[in-house]
């Protein structure tokens, strides 16, 4: 039994299982909900197996199709990709459970195959060992995400999806042009080989610029964020959750890998520029979130701000800062998914998400409001949440590098976040009566949001383990800068 577990190609299973799930859901639409849930559980099990394998045996490399590099497809799982996979599995399971109560049959039939396909693409992306595979998976991820946004069907959602698609295609084409230049320079697309052969030339700089620009567009870094709020806010709630929690993070993940492993060092000026854009995003996103009158838009702008934090690690550049940004990313994924789910519950219960009228709704959904508040605590970065740990690490790195102005940005961002979170939470404590016929929210939807939010908060108490996981495999294994 143990041998079987040891030798299973878990990394391949992690991709094949959701793909099979998507097919099965497509073929048996009547049973798509139980089949989809089963698929989600299966993915979680496979990720657990992979986790066990990586922890026991170190980073894993799988060769798919038997050709081997350079022609075949290689999968690579180290601590970084494993952590991302695990986070995806947790949030993905939550989204699956939430969705099983959210969609009506007519939409569910379309949702489940698309969602499992998106999950496939995401897992494949996180395991890709070459930059061209990253392109393909990124594109598949983007296409399925667009289709999911369009599921909402309204004029807002459709135009947002259209814009999202065009922006996404533009981003991935820029990225692909960069891939072409790198292949021209080094004759390979494999990340490890590129890392070995890397040397500077104008073509490489052009590639770095193009790939970064494409990925920044997809990560919605200010000022390339314009497409995100409408897309994330007008999508169906589970889709909003998975876009803000998972899809945005995918392009950041690629950028991080390239920056750490492939791109030539000495890009200090570029790092400062990215930090500056990130800082602007933190402030701008926060202010915009504060100004919104609709809850889902508020949460979407909050994503713009939170993505900004991640880029503060670029000018700092210590491994402590990178890990801090990654920890922020993890806790943000859980917290933001929970937040969107809470908003979805409020939307269903009250029939609207106008913030000014939340007093008639929020009080009647204590579990949902608790979920929103707990998620808010993590997003604000208050202790003991995962967001706090991430911020602490970034702050520490900022002082360590003597670049205290980033600390100022982190603090101001936190204050803005507190302002918009409490703007919503404050409505729970009123004496207003419900003035209309409210529709019931299934308990599963409330509890899913709460459990995810709680996970985001508790993540702060278990930081050493995930951080140790990051040391497996390449990006952080070569000696800590601190």
Partner 1 sequence: MNSILLYALAGVGLFTLGLYALIVHAHLLRKILAINVMGSGVFLVLVSLGGRTPGASPDPVPHAMVITGIVVAVSATALALALMLRVQAKTGQTLLPEERLE
Partner 2 sequence: MRRVNWDSGLLLLILATSLVPGLVIFFLPEERVAIRTTLNMGGAVVKLVLVGVLIWGVLHGHQYETRLPLLPGGLDLVLHADAESVLFVTLSAVLWLVTTIYAIGYLEGSQHRSRFFGFFSLCVTATVGVALAGNMITFLVFYELLTLSTYPLIVHRGTEEARQAGRVYLRYTIAGGALLLVGTVWLYDVAGSFEFTHRGVVAGLDDADRTVLTAIFVLLIAGLGVKAALVPLHGWLPRAMVAPAPVSALLHAVAVVKAGAFGIVRVVDDVYGVEFAASLGVTGPLAVLAATTIVYGSLRALFQDNLKRRLAYSTVSQVSYIVLGVAVVGPIATVGGLVHLVHQGLMKITLFFCAGNLAETLGVHNISDMNGIGRRMPWTMAAFTIAALGMIGVPPLAGFVSKWYLGLGALDAGQDWVVFILAGSSLLNAGYFLPVLYATWFKAPPDAWPAERSYGRRETAWALLAPPLVTALLVVAAGLLASAPFSPLQWARFITTQEYAP
Residues that bind partner 2 (CB under 8 A): 366, 370, 377, 382-384, 389, 392-393, 395-396, 399-400, 407, 411, 414-415, 418, 422, 426, 429-431, 460-461, 463-464, 467-468
Instruction: Report 82-141 residues binding partner 1 (CB under 8 A).
Output: 132, 136, 139-140
| 70 versus 383: smaller Cβ distance to partner 2 | 383
Out of 58, 187, 351, 426, the residue judged to bind partner 1 by CB under 8 A: 187
Pair of tokens at residue 81: 């990709």
Q: Are 125 and 134 in contact (CB under 8 A)?
A: yes
* Residue linked to tokens 């930059």: 131
In the complex, least distance from residue 298 CB atom to partner 2, rounded to whole angstroms: 17
- Which DSSP string corresponds to 378-395? HHHT-TTSHHHHHHHHHH
Say whether 406 sits in a helix, a strand or coil. Answer: helix
Q: Which does 147 bind (CB under 5 to 8 A by kind): partner 1, partner 2, none?
A: partner 1
Out of 90, 97, 125, 146, the residue judged to bind partner 1 by CB under 8 A: 146
Q: Based on the shown chain and the rule CB under 8 A, indicate whether residue 189 belongs to the binding site for partner 1.
A: yes
Phi then psi dihedrals of residue 65, to 5 deg: 85, -10
Phi then psi dihedrals of residue 303, to 5 deg: -65, -40
Q: Are 386 and 459 in contact (CB under 8 A)?
A: yes
Q: Based on the shown chain and the rule CB under 8 A, indicate whether residue 426 belongs to the binding site for partner 1.
A: no
Q: How far apart are alpha carbons 156 and 179 in whole angstroms? A: 34
Pair of tokens at residue 353: 């998400």
| 9 versus 142: smaller Cβ distance to partner 1 | 142
| 93 versus 346: smaller Cβ distance to partner 2 | 346
Q: Based on the shown chain and the rule CB under 8 A, indicate whether residue 68 belongs to the binding site for partner 1.
A: no
Out of 41, 180, 438, 481, the residue judged to bind partner 1 by CB under 8 A: 180
Out of 9, 92, 229, 387, the residue judged to bind partner 1 by CB under 8 A: 229
In the complex, least distance from residue 422 CB atom to partner 2, rounded to whole angstroms: 6
Q: Based on the shown chain and the rule CB under 8 A, indicate whether residue 170 belongs to the binding site for partner 1.
A: yes
| 202 versus 479: smaller Cβ distance to partner 1 | 202
Q: Based on the shown chain and the rule CB under 8 A, indicate whether residue 205 belongs to the binding site for partner 1.
A: no
Say if residue 202 is exposed, middle or buried (CB neighbours under 10 Å; 0-12, 13-18, 19+).
exposed
Q: How far apart are alpha carbons 286 and 416 in whole angstroms? A: 5
Q: Which does 443 bind (CB under 5 to 8 A by kind): partner 1, partner 2, none?
A: none
Q: Based on the shown chain and the rule CB under 8 A, indicate whether residue 70 belongs to the binding site for partner 1.
A: yes
Q: Rounded to a whole number, what is the distance in angstroms from the first to the last CA of the chain?
A: 42
CB atoms within 10 A of CB 199: 8
Pair of tokens at residue 151: 């599921």
Q: How far apart are alpha carbons 348 and 451 in whole angstroms? A: 19
Q: Which does 384 bind (CB under 5 to 8 A by kind): partner 1, partner 2, none?
A: partner 2
Q: Based on the shown chain and the rule CB under 8 A, indicate whether residue 165 belongs to the binding site for partner 1.
A: yes
Say if residue 69 is exposed, middle or buried (CB neighbours under 10 Å; 0-12, 13-18, 19+).
middle
Q: For residues 323, 326, 328 and 333, what is the CA-based torsion angle, rounded to 10 degrees?
A: -160
Q: Based on the shown chain and the rule CB under 8 A, indicate whether residue 412 belongs to the binding site for partner 1.
A: no
Pair of tokens at residue 426: 């404050």
In the complex, least distance from residue 170 CB atom to partner 1, rounded to whole angstroms: 7
> Where do contacts with partner 1 occur on this chain (CB under 8 A)?
70-71, 132, 136, 139-140, 143, 146-147, 150, 153-155, 158-159, 161-163, 165-166, 169-170, 173, 176-177, 179-181, 183-184, 187, 189, 226, 229, 288
């Amino acid at each position: 039994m143990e041998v079987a577990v040891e030798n299973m190609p878990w990394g391949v299973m992690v991709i094949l299982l959701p793909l099979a799930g998507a097919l099965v859901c497509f073929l048996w639409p009547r049973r798509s909900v139980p089949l989809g849930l089963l698929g989600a559980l299966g993915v979680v099990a496979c990720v657990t197996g992979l986790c066990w394998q990586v922890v026991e045996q170190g980073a894993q490399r799988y060769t798919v199709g038997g050709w081997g590099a350079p022609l075949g497809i290689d999968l690579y799982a180290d601590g970084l990709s494993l952590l991302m996979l695990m986070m995806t599995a947790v949030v993905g399971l939550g989204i699956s459970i939430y969705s099983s109560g959210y969609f009506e049959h007519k939409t569910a039939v379309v949702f489940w195959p698309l969602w499992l396909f998106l999950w496939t693409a995401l897992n494949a992306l996180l395991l890709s060992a070459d930059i061209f595979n990253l392109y393909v998976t990124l594109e598949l991820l983007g296409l399925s995400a667009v289709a999911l946004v369009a599921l909402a069907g309204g004029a807002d959602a459709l135009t947002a999806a259209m814009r999202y698609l065009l922006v996404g295609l533009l981003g991935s084409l820029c990225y692909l042009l960069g891939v072409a230049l790198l292949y021209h320079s080094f004759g390979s697309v494999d990340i490890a080989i590129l890392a070995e052969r890397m040397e500077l030339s104008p073509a490489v700089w052009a590639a770095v610029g193009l790939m970064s620009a494409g990925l920044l567009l997809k990560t919605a870094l200010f000022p390339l964020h314009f497409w995100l709020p409408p897309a994330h806010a007008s999508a169906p709630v589970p889709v909003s959750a998975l876009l803000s929690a998972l899809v945005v993070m995918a392009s950041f993940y690629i950028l991080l890998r390239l920056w750490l492993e492939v791109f030539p060092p000495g890009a200090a000026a570029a790092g400062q520029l990215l930090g500056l854009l990130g800082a602007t995003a933190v402030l701008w996103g926060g202010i915009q979130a504060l100004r919104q009158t609709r809850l889902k838009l508020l949460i979407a702008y909050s994503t713009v701000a939170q993505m900004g934090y991640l880029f503060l690690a670029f000018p700092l550049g210590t491994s402590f800062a990178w890990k801090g940004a990654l920890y922020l990313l993890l806790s943000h994924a859980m917290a933001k998914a929970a937040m969107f789910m809470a908003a979805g519950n409020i939307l269903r219960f009250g029939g609207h998400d106008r913030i000014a009228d939340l007093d008639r709704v929020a009080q009647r959904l204590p579990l949902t409001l608790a979920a929103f508040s707990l998620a808010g605590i993590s997003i604000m970065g208050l202790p003991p949440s995962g967001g706090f740990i991430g911020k602490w690490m970034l702050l520490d790195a900022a002082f360590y590098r003597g670049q205290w102005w980033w600390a100022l940005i982190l603090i101001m961002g936190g204050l803005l976040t507190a302002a918009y979170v409490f703007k919503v939470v404050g409505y729970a404590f009123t004496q207003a009566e419900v003035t209309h016929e409210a529709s019931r929210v299934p308990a599963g939807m409330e509890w899913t949001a709460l459990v995810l939010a709680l996970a985001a908060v508790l993540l702060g108490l278990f930081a050493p383990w995930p951080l140790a996981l990051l040391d497996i495999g390449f990006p952080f294994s070569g000696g800590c800068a601190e």
